[in-house]
């Protein structure tokens, strides 16, 4: 099984990105700094996510992948958090998406299995599409975009070879994640991030008008704080005997209006405005998501999740006061 040498290296792909950099920072809060960050800094602005982090080394994604292909020994490695991916749900270059999210992940999976390294990777709730049941079963899966398809195909690949794996392998189907260090994602940043900017700029939070039978701003998602995302990732690293593919959300959907109102409450001012639902999102938009976390609970993770109201307040403290969260008590 996976190594539990606390002095061994931990690798984080996408380590300069949103979720990856928060995992690095949480490891630092535990006193761990033997961390190799892997990323593509073609967008150099992402360096800001690592400025306050303590890492052992940085490696470009291309160089890292070459070493993986050549089966080079990277040292004594305890775990690999694979957060590197193209995460744009509006990107339709399927060749690029499958290469980045599917083929790359397969290579890392086989490398980790061969060297008995724990492999914890990012999947997505986009694997479910427009369904109303979000349970880790094929009957409920049907992505609406090529991003979701790339994630589903890798999950299916893991499922097919699961009985052959000799190390810990855990996939996390992230729902709508929000929190520090997502500013580089542009339009793919969370609505909490955009609402904060809109409120500071014009005093108005803009939400989509109703669609799919939902009232204005009433579309519902499972909004999950990066704090909980990190806590679950590290919990599984601490329990190398546990593997599988799990939803990672709060288990409770909340309306976009709830997020906007939490931002308004924090600032003590502002108002809501509803804009027409975009034509290009019709038919490819998830108006409802709510993670079924019964499998996660059954596996043993019992900590409570932050509500929108709780998590947005912590996030607003970061955006407006520069206060990073504490990931674990």
Q: From 91, 83, 108, select the one nearest 15 (Cα to Cα).
A: 83
| Under 8 Å between Cβ of 61 and 68 | no
Strands 223-225 and 176-178: parallel
Active-site residue 178, yes or no? no
- How many of the other CB atoms lie within 10 Å of CB of 168? 24
- Among the listed residues 102, 128, 147, 315, the single catalytic one is 147
At residue 151's C-alpha, the angle toward residues 145 and 152, to 5°, is 85
Structure tokens at 183: 């500013």
- Catalytic residue among 106, 116, 135, 185, which? 185
- What phi and psi values does residue 114 have, to the nearest 5 degrees? -65, -40
Output b/e per residue, 196-213; b: 16+ Cβ within 10 A: bebbeeeeebbbbeebee
Q: How many residues would you count in the chain?
A: 329
Contacts of 46 (CB under 8 A, 6+ apart): 16, 17, 39, 184
DSSP, res 70 = T
d(C-alpha 18, C-alpha 193), whole Å? 12
**Which residues, including other chains, have CB under 8 Å from residue 11's CB and lie 6 or more apart?**
35, 36, 38, 74, 77, 79, 80, 81
Between CA 309 and CA 256, with CA 329 as vertex, the angle to 5 degrees is: 15
- Select from 219, 221, 241, 243 the least CA-distant residue to 296: 243
Give the C-alpha separation, 175 to 167, whole Å. 26
Active site residue 111: no
Biggest distance spanned by C-alpha atoms of the chain: 57
Cβ–Cβ under 8 Å, residues 123 and 171: yes
Catalytic residues: 147, 185
């Amino acid at each position: 099984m996976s190594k539990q040498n606390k002095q061994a290296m931990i690798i984080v792909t996408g380590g300069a990105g949103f979720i990856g950099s928060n995992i690095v920072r949480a490891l630092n809060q535990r006193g761990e700094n033997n961390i190799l960050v892997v990323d593509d800094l073609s967008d150099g602005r992402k360096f800001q996510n690592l400025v306050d982090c303590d890492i052992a080394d940085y490696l470009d994604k291309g160089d890292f992948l070459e070493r993986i292909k050549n089966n080079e020994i990277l040292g004594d490695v305890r775990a690999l958090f694979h957060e590197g991916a193209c995460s744009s749900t509006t990107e339709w270059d399927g060749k690029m998406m499958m290469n980045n999210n599917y083929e790359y992940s397969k290579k890392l999976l086989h490398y980790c299995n061969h060297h008995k390294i724990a492999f914890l990777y990012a999947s997505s709730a986009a694997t479910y599409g427009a369904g109303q049941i979000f349970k880790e079963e094929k009957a409920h899966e049907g992505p609406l975009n090529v991003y979701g398809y790339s994630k589903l195909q890798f999950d299916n690949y893991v499922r097919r070879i699961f009985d052959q794996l000799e190390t810990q392998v855990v996939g996390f189907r992230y729902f709508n994640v929000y929190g520090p260090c997502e500013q580089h994602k542009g339009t793919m940043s969370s609505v909490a991030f955009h609402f904060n900017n809109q409120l500071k700029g014009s005093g108005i939070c803009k939400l989509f008008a109703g669609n799919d039978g939902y009232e204005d701003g009433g579309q519902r998602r499972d909004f999950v704080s990066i704090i909980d995302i990190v806590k679950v990732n590290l919990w599984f690293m601490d329990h190398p005997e546990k593997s599988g593919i799990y939803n990672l959300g709060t288990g409770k959907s909340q309306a976009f209006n709830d997020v906007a109102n939490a931002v308004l409450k924090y600032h003590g001012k502002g108002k809501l405005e509803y804009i027409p639902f975009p034509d290009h999102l019709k038919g490819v938009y998830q108006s409802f998501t709510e993670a079924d976390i019964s499998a996660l609970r059954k596996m043993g993770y019992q900590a409570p999740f932050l509500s929108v109201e709780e998590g947005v307040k912590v996030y607003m403290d970061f955006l407006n006061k520069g206060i990073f969260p504490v990931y674990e008590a």
